[in-house]
Amino acid sequence: MSSSPSSRPTSETRLSLSHITAQNETNLLGTVHGGVIMTLVDSVAGVVAARHSGGPAVTASMDEMVFLVPVRVGDVVHFSAQVNWTGRSSMEVGVRITADRWDAVGPQMHVASAYLVFVAVDEDGKPREVPQVVPVTDEDRRRLREAEIRRSHRLARRAAIIASREQSGEEADEGGGR
């Protein structure tokens, strides 16, 4: 594992991946399976998290992901990922997914946006500290502010679910997300 600085700018670990969708990636309707897109989202975000933290990082959670337009076989899907926010050992990675139709020239389509929390781990799988992300552009600063809002909502939702289960006498688990 390489040693990490105490902070790292967003621009240093931002990553883009493009993928030409294939026939074996379809659902029953003949469009591209959402799970294919989600796998690529998790993969590209995982690389960004590992690069930012200088070592392994595991997916802790993924927020709701809304698909805005269907992707067709042959379309070229682009994934742009960057670290939006860092905590002590966790990082929010944002992924913007866009697509170009394979058979037409037109404006690029916004397919979806996804927000994932990764936790950097050591050899024993225990959380380890990550460099603080340094926003570079106004866009980065907006993403950082919005990531803080999502983080506070995750914490509030988890606390509310635990409180509700405690009230009803059910066992509280970790499923509420952080």
Ligand X SMILES: CC(C)(COP(=O)(O)OP(=O)(O)OC[C@H]1O[C@@H](n2cnc3c(N)ncnc32)[C@H](O)[C@@H]1OP(=O)(O)O)[C@@H](O)C(=O)NCCC(=O)NCCS
CB of 35 to ligand X, least distance (A): 14
**Which of 21/90 has CB closer to ligand X?**
90
- In the chain, how many H helices and how many E strands? 3, 7
**Residue 82 or residue 89: which is nearer to ligand X going by CB?**
89
What is the Cα–Cα distance from 44 to 165, expressed in whole angstroms?
A: 35
| C-alpha distance from residue 5 to each of 52, 54, 135 (Å) | 10, 9, 15
Of 100 and 129, CB closest to ligand X: 129
Q: Least Å distance between CB 18 and ligand X? A: 25
Residues that bind ligand X (CB under 6 A): 58-61, 87-90, 117, 119, 121, 125, 127, 154, 177-178
Question: Which residue's CB atom is positioned nearest to ligand X?
Answer: 87
Neighbouring CB atoms inside 10 A of 49's CB total 28
